[in-house]
Amino acid sequence: MLHKVTYPIILICSLLMGCNQSSLPEYWLCSGDSSQRVYDAQLNLLEVYTGNDPLMLEKFGNTMYQFLAPAFSGKYFICSDSSKNPEIYMQFHPCDDASIPANNVNQPTRHAMFNLDSGEFQIREFRTLNRKIIINDGIFACKSLGHSFSFNDFNHAKD
């Protein structure tokens, strides 16, 4: 028969062993510049917008989420194996379905490259809206926050 003290030890050990660090999300906080260019159907530049909002990345399994910079917010599908290469290639649509952007020109085509070693994150989006062509670009330097983050890192008042 197990002693009363043994049960809490077994519970703690099973909880510690069950929490595998590789199954937790990973976070990166990024800073950099982004731009948006709007063209008419004849490719005449109509408008240019720039920004430097922080960008937060969350990698969980085979997906990457970006949830701070409004122009690039969303879920991305990771199309490369990061265990073999430090560069992660990702896109807005599932990696094995090339027909989605071709069938709907109004749906954005978004691609990104993230280097886990250097923290460099590059992203580009192409979409059409009301017969205008919109291209978003961004280049960011990201620092790893591990498996957790604080809202204080990016939740500051804008000047």
Q: List, in sequence order, every residue forming a beta bridge with 26; answer none if it has no partner.
A: 59
d(CA 99, CA 64): 21
Q: Give the tens place of pLDDT for each residue, 120-137.
A: 999 999 989 899 999 999
Asked if residue 3 is part of any domain, the answer here is: no
* Phi (first) and psi of residue 119, to 5 degrees: 85, 5
Asked if residue 153 is part of any domain, the answer here is: no
pTM above 0.85, yes or no: no
pLDDT at residue 110, rounded to an integer: 86
Asked if residue 80 is part of any domain, the answer here is: yes
Query: Which CATH number goes with the domain that contains 138?
Result: 2.40.160
Asked if residue 154 is part of any domain, the answer here is: no
Asked if residue 157 is part of any domain, the answer here is: no
Asked if residue 39 is part of any domain, the answer here is: yes
Asked if residue 95 is part of any domain, the answer here is: yes
Q: Give the tens place of pLDDT for each residue, 75-106.
A: 888 998 766 788 889 998 888 765 554 555 56
Q: Give the largest CA-CA distance in the chain.
A: 82
Number of domains in the chain: 1
Residue 71's nearest CA partner among 103, 110, 41, 43 is: 110
Domain span including residue 132: 22-147
